[in-house]
Structure 1
Amino acid sequence: MPVEDRLGQYIKQTEQAINGRKEHAMRALDLTVPQYAALLTLSGTEGMSGAKLARRCMVTPQTMTTILSNLSAKGLVSRTESPDHTRVLITRLTPAGKRKLKQADAKAVAIERFLAEEFTPDEAEELRSLLTRASNRLAQFRQPEKKG
């Protein structure tokens, strides 16, 4: 299959472009894109475990442990024992984390809006639909077993 026919190449190129812009924007706020993603995800909750947060942010639990350790050191999140499970820590945004997220999200939204300006509303909806279909299709893929 020629490289120019491989959809993954185009998806990866776009992902790298948007993440590159967001990394640059977040760096000015002393954040990384994964740290921003964790703050954004936490903003819609009353707190959650690191494992759940890792799943929502699409990183490994080990990576999320590092992200949360760094965010905690910056005073942007607090971690307390779960009332249900003493071995589980529940992570919440601190007031400083909420302020930092507001700044970071303004920068991320500006990038998202800039990208969206390239498309009509119908094209943007079609792109979302096509990418969702692609993701759902890939979730169904099973590598053929080797015979031999």
Structure 2
Amino acid sequence: MIKRAEQALIGRKTHALREFGLTVPQYAVLLLLASSDGMSAAQLARECMVTPQTMATVLANLERDRLIDRHPSALHQKVVVNVATAEGRAVVAKADEAALRVEGALSAAFTAEELRSFEGFLERAIVTLGELP
């Protein structure tokens, strides 16, 4: 049931983000970069829970569309830092409004008490699974 709910949420976000020319992974990356001074591909892959190969494709497409810039790290020669461009920040600000409307509609389907219970159940599931050997 959790997977089905996640797929339904991703499907609605995909539809909402299409207007901005973004996929859900591209949106997630831009959202992270818009609130940071830059991140490596490895950091972004971990945060977005995708493979490094998938992240490489996402970043290449964002760079092609001029939504991010990539430059060598001042700290490590072999690390490339990804930063959102002004255009990328503008696009993600609008796209975030659309994504938040989807999340808001989902939240509105539950009472405050139901949301607290639901979040508690999910947190318990996460903790339980994290404690398994």
Q: Which residue of 1 aligns with 2:126?
A: 135
Q: Which residue of 2 aligns with 1:35?
A: 26
Quote the Cα distance in structure 2 between the aligned partners of 1:129 and 1:89.
39
Between the two structures, name the one with larger relative contact order (CA 8 Å, sep ≥ 6).
2
User: How does the TM-score come out when normalised to structure 2?
Assistant: 0.94
Q: Which residue of 2 aligns with 1:6?
A: none
Q: State the Cα deviation string for residues 13-70 of structure 1 (Å, max 9, x = none).
A: 1001100000111112111001101111222211111101110111111111110000
CA contact (8 A) 1:41 1:57 kept: no
Q: State the Cα distance separating 1:140 from its structure 2 match.
A: 3.0
Structural RMSD (CA): 1.1
User: Is there any run of 5+ residues in structure 2 with no aligned partner, and where?
Assistant: none
Is the counterpart of residue 90 in structure 1 residue 58 in structure 2? no
Q: Which residue of 1 aligns with 2:65?
A: 74
Judging changes above 3 Å, is the alpha-carbon distance between structure 1 residues 42 and 136 closer, same or farther for their aligned structure 2 residues? farther
User: Is there any run of 5+ residues in structure 1 with no aligned partner, and where?
Assistant: 1-9, 143-148
Name the amino acid aligned to 2:64: A
Matching of residues 4-43 of structure 1 within 5 Å: 10-43=1-34
Is the counterpart of residue 111 in structure 1 residue 102 in structure 2? yes
Q: State the Cα deviation string for residues 56-89 of structure 1 (Å, max 9, x = none).
A: 1111111111100000101111111001111111
Name the amino acid aligned to 1:36: Y
Quote the Cα distance in structure 2 between the aligned partners of 1:136 and 1:63.
28
Q: State the Cα distance separating 1:131 from its structure 2 match.
A: 1.4
Q: State the Cα deviation string for residues 113-137 of structure 1 (Å, max 9, x = none).
A: 0001011122212222221221232
Q: How much identity, in percent, do the aligned residues show?
A: 44
CA contact (8 A) 1:71 1:77 kept: yes
Q: Which residue of 2 aligns with 1:7?
A: none
Aligned length: 133
